[in-house]
Amino acid sequence: MTKPADMLRLGVNIDHVATLRNARGGSHPCPVSAALLAQKSGADGITAHLREDRRHIKDDDIVNLKQVLDIPLNFEMAATEEMVSLAERLRPNAACIVPEKRAELTTEGGLAVTGHEARLAPFITRLKAAGVRVSLFVDAIPGELEAAVGLGADIVELHTGAYCDASGAERAAHLTLLRDGAHYADKLGLEVHAGHGLNYENVSDIAAIQQMVELNIGHFLIGAAVFSGLPDALSTMRRLMDDARPEKSA
C-alpha cells in the first residue's frame, strides 16, 4: 500500500485489549496478537502504556511487543525510575512521558513540564542516551511547549481530551488552542502528535491540522472493533456449534 508523503501516521493504542483480557485473568484477548493484527491492517505504530498499577498492559506484553513488531513501538510511561530503567533496557522507538495518578480512570491532563524541569531532565537525558525518542504528552500551552524544547524533547503529543469532551463554542475554542499549539510546536522544531478521546466524529478537525504527524487512538478503536468484529466471531461460533451436532436422520 503506497501512502502519500504527508500522510498522517496512525498509532494504535492496544491498552484496552489488555483491559478485556485482564477481566478474566487469562490470556485472551491477547494485546500482542491485536497489535500484530493492527500492524497487518495498516497501523503505522503501536502505543502501549505500562501503568504503575499494571491495570492493563503487563511487563511481558511490553517485552513481547518490542520483539514481534516491525512498526515503531511508542512506550507510554510515567516519569519514574522504574519506567525509565525499563525503557533503557527495552529501547522502544519512542517513550511518551505522561502524568499518572493512581486513582484516575485514564490520563486526565497533560504533563506539567514547567516547574518540573529538574526532575524530568535526568530521565530525558537517559532515554535519549539509550537511543529512545522522547515525547511529552502536554496540553497545547505555549509555555509547556517551550519547556519541552528546553528539555530536549523530540516530540510533543498534544492532549486532545478536553477538545473531545467539549461541545459547541467550547470545543471550537479548544480546537483553536490545538491548532495554535501545533503551529507553535512545529515552529519550535518539535514533531507534533496528538491523542486522547479521538473517535469517528471528532478526528477530522484534528487530522486536518497541517503540522500534525501522528495521532494515537485507543479506546474508541477497540470499542468500534467489537461492533465490526462481532458478526464474524458470532458466525464462527455458530458454525462450530452446528458442526458439533449429530446430523438428524430424516
List interacting residues with ligand PXP (CB under 6 A).
Answer: 13, 15, 49, 76, 96, 98, 106-107, 137, 157, 195-198, 216-220
Give 16 or 179: the residue with its C-beta nearer to ligand PXP: 16
Contact of 153 with 124, CB cutoff 8 Å: yes
Least separation in angstroms between residue 12's CB and ligand PXP is 9
CA trace torsion 134, 136, 137, 140 (10° rounding): -130
Active-site position among 16, 56, 159, 196 = 196
Residue 76 falls in the annotated catalytic set:
yes
| Catalytic position from the list 49, 56, 159, 193 | 49
Task: Give the count of beta carbons closer than 10 Å to the beta carbon of residue 132.
Answer: 21
Taking the least distance from each CB to ligand PXP, the nearer of 32 and 97 is: 97
Residue type, 28: H
Taken as a whole, the chain contains a residue count of: 250
> Measured from the CB atom, is 36 or 95 closer to ligand PXP?
95
Say if residue 92 is preceded by a cis peptide, omega within 30 of 0: no
Rounded-to-integer distance, Cα 115 and Cα 187, Å:
23
From 16, 56, 76, 100, the catalytic residue: 76
Please state the closest distance from residue 161 (CB atom) to ligand PXP, in A: 7
**Phi, psi at residue 153, to the nearest 5°?**
-65, 145
Is 49 an active-site residue?
Answer: yes
Catalogue the active-site residues. 49, 76, 196
